[in-house]
Amino acid sequence: MTEVTLGIIPGCGGTQNLPRALGERRAKELILSGTPFSADDAMKWGMVNRVCEPDKLLDEALATAQRIAGNGPIAVRQAKHAIHHGIEMSVANGMLFEVQAYNRTVPTEDRHEGVRAFNEKRKPDFKGK
């Protein structure tokens, strides 16, 4: 986010995404000062989930994707939907939105399979239904 040192501002949503990720104060400090920061700083500030060696990046990203893909697809979709839209709402409205998203998972076969698998101490076999 060193664009101000060139007389321009961050583009591609930089002035919008960074404050949402780090908070307004930290984002202003970084954007307005144009000070570079390290991966360790980004980790400390909660900007990234983890820091790894470059040659391990793809493996770690794929492992995370695999873990997500192994979960109930309807539940993952509804959780993603609730997070994405809820963060733009007040907390009270976000909670109501979350309840609606949760309720979409209740009648699904995947929820029944997930509960059964938990009770039977086995890995669920989700079908996306």
State the CATH class of domain 3-51: alpha beta
On whether the CB atoms of residues 104 and 75 are closer than 8 A, the answer is: no
- Name the residue ranges covered by the structural domains of the chain: 3-51, 53-129
Average pLDDT over residues 10-33: 92
pTM, rounded to two decimals: 0.77
> What gap in Å lies between CA 111 and CA 113, rounded to an integer?
5
Average pLDDT over residues 14-31: 92
Does the domain at residues 53-129 carry the CATH identifier 3.30.750.210?
Answer: no
Q: How far is CA 90 from the centre of its chain?
A: 18
73-117 confidence digits (pLDDT tens): 999 999 999 999 998 899 999 999 999 999 999 999 999 999 999
Residues 6+ apart with CB under 8 A from 86: 93, 94, 95, 97, 98
Q: What percent of the chain has pLDDT over 90?
A: 87
pLDDT of residue 20: 87
User: Considering the chain, what is the average pLDDT of its residues?
Assistant: 94
Helix intervals (H) in 23-90: 24-33, 39-44, 57-69, 73-86
